[in-house]
Structure 1
């Protein structure tokens, strides 16, 4: 390098350094990283999102709660979340449970929401003893087993299988019985829907390994599954949860349906927040992110918060108690293991006195 070049570099050294740093910052800003951020979401009334054809004037509100998530953030958002005591950072693999890709994971969350709506209808109509029609429509790929060869051959989480080798397959039982007659190494053609599009994949079968004697040594594809149900109620029920995902609004959906169909304001004038999955028999299940949902409920001045309670797994209850204590949140925590327990609590509340 000659003297002239050295002089030029010294003269513009500051400008070059600023330019270099600017380029680095721009790259850091636009470069997505394989992480997901979690924080407090919303606490919204269920009432406007559930229609049953039955009018009900609620003096209070049943609030469903959500977690705010942000996928593929840049480094600046990650740093902010790391420093924020009310946020959390997880790797994409940890957040999605190792799902094949984000598209499949989102399809799975959408099905969870739809399944939650179906189970909410079943639980609500069962508890008020009204008949309801159920139709089996396919088999959801819930998660792929590590030994499965399905992923590299085109199957992913969230896929709904409706046919195998051209034969209609509407239930997990029918699919399992068909595959069990095959040999490991045989290939089957599965088809169905992936989100709102059709899919088809040719999958080699394996010998399933499981601690369950009924499953171990059986031939199969290698995925956890569940039958997809279409539930048709006798009332004109409509849901509006297309902007959400996952099954955790199930309990609050069910309570709103019961309230409208029985013309009983279960709020008793209070703001009742809560979360929890729901099954057809009314069992309330554990969920994730209850700490963030409590923060959202506190911001919306909820009086009570219904917490999924399982004596065999106190994860939700323990985290809820810890969050309320550490952050000094105002909602009173209520243990609920079943829909009946939630209904008994709400019906037992003294109507809130108007100030």
Structure 2
């Protein structure tokens, strides 16, 4: 009797372990689903001067992204708008912590560019202060591996400072292969110094530190903002951030009671760049009852454009929401003024 009971307990434990594996074992895939279209003013508000109150709403849109398990991977096939994306396409070689840092950088950069574009368009004083080089990743052969980390901001090379990543790259490439180099940097605002050597960069005849990088800067302006972007990441809200700031800072009646959603990156020239997950963002915007959905007009070579996919999705879900392609911030403003 005792042996029989022991066997049953073992089988029950094995069954429970199997169920847990099916439910929670992480697979090397992410599942992407429609997220939400939320008011941009929930994340970004002008505090000085007092923002102009107007009828209507501007909405940024995000997708829902989570790590797949065997159960959720199979379930995703029941949703025609679910995408199963290999983990490496999402995080690359980064761990979760580094991936989060990079997404936070993209979000802060999107805010900076949006502020710069909107403030210039609204005729406010604005300057860009260069802070240094943001470390995005370290190559396998970099001698700074284990010294520098993703998220560090390089401020000087051999004691010299530079005003752009282009100047930085040019200076480093002028150093001899194998030569010793001193890197000054900030980690969580704490100054640090590390030494390493110039290495060959894989896939090219060039030399360098063996890091991938991006410019780190901040905006200086008499205008004050309140931001709350800790729970979202990536650069795709750039266009909508710039429109929200412009709408709060000027007396123009852009919205006239309309519900306007949109997506797209923004650069300092006001150009709007393509993003991923646009089909999911169309669905989320339609659920939020948006009247207009701005989508990048620019497309990546060899891929279906954001506009084409947005139009296709809008047709599939039978929404009356107007899909509007824009190549720049000024095009979006002009459309709202004239329509």
Shorter-chain TM-score bucket reads 0.7 to 0.9
2:234 aligned with 1:246: yes
The Cα of 1:182 is off from its aligned counterpart by: 1.7
CA 1:157/1:330 → structure 2, altered by over 3 Å: closer, same or farther?
Answer: farther
Q: Greater CA deviation, 178-187 or 228-237? A: 178-187
The Cα of 1:200 is off from its aligned counterpart by 6.0
TM-superposed deviation, 1:24: 1.6
> In structure 2, the residue corresponding to 1:79 is in which secondary structure?
helix
1:317 maps to 2:307: yes
Equivalent residues of 1:150, 1:156 under 8 A apart: no
In the other structure, the counterpart of 1:337 is: 327
* Aligned equivalent of 1:61: 57
CA contact (8 A) 1:100 1:151 kept: no
Contact 2:181 2:198 in 1 (8 A): yes
CA distance in 2, matches of 1:292, 1:102: 23
State the distance in 2 between where 1:235 and 1:295 align: 35
Uncovered stretches (5+) of structure 2, i.e. residues with no partner: none
**Structure 1 counterpart of 2:76:** 81
What SS does the aligned partner of 1:56 have? coil
- Residue number in structure 2 paired with 1:281: 269
Which residue in the other structure is 1:213 paired with? none
Residues 272 and 305 in structure 1, CA contact (< 8 A), matched pair in contact too: yes
Task: Give secondary structure in 1 for the equivalent of 2:132.
Answer: strand
Is contact 1:100-1:157 (8 Å) kept?
Answer: no
Tell me if 1:326 matches 2:319. Answer: no
The corresponding residue for 1:258 is 246
Bigger Cα displacement from structure 2, 190-199 vs 44-53:
190-199
Worse overlay, 329-338 or 165-174: 165-174
Q: Distance in 1 between matches of 2:205 and 2:127?
A: 36
Matches within 5 A, 1:160-171: 160-165=153-158, 167-168=160-161, 171=164
* Cα distance between partner residues in 1 of 2:17 and 2:165: 53
CA contact under 8 A between 2:134 and 2:216: conserved in structure 1?
yes
Q: How many angstroms does 1:179 deviate by?
A: 1.4
CA contact (8 A) 1:35 1:91 kept: yes
Query: Residue in 2 aligned with 1:227?
Result: 215
User: Cα offset for 1:59?
Assistant: 1.5
Go from structure 1 to structure 2 and tell me whether the alpha carbon gap of 1:289 and 1:22 turns closer, same or farther (over 3 Å shift).
Answer: same
Which sits farther off after the overlay, 327-336 or 271-280? 327-336
Q: Which runs of 5 or more structure 1 residues have no equivalent in the other structure?
A: 1-6, 211-215, 350-355
**2:144 touches 2:195 (CA, 8 Å); kept in 1?**
no
Q: Secondary structure at the match of 1:131?
A: coil
Q: How far did 1:148 drift?
A: 5.2
Is residue 274–residue 300 contact of structure 2 (8 Å, CA) maintained in 1? no
Secondary structure class of the residue paired with 1:301? coil
- TM superposition score normalised by structure 1: 0.83
Shift of residue 13, structure 1, vs aligned partner: 5.9
Contact in 1 for aligned 2:34/2:284 (Cα 8 Å) = yes
- Report the secondary structure of 1:237's partner residue: strand
Could you say which residue in structure 1 is the equivalent of 2:338?
A: 348
SS in 1 for 2:219: strand
Q: Distance between the aligned counterparts of 1:307 and 1:42, measured in 2?
A: 16
Instruction: Give the 3-state SS of the residue equivalent to 2:105 in structure 1.
Output: helix
Aligned residue pair count? 335
Structure 2 CA distance for aligned equivalents of residues 58 and 160 of structure 1:
40
Bigger Rg over Cα? 1
Residues 294 and 332 of structure 2 are in contact (CA less than 8 Å); yes or no, is this contact kept in structure 1?
Answer: yes
Q: Does 1:22 align with 2:7?
A: no
Change (3 A) 1:152 1:78: farther
* 1:172 matched to 2:160: no
Residues 85-104 of structure 1: pairs in structure 2 closer than 5 A:
85-96=80-91, 98-104=92-98
TM-score (norm 2): 0.87
Bigger drift between 103-112 and 159-168 goes to 159-168
Match of 2:117 in 1: 123
Distance 2:221 2:231 in 1: 23
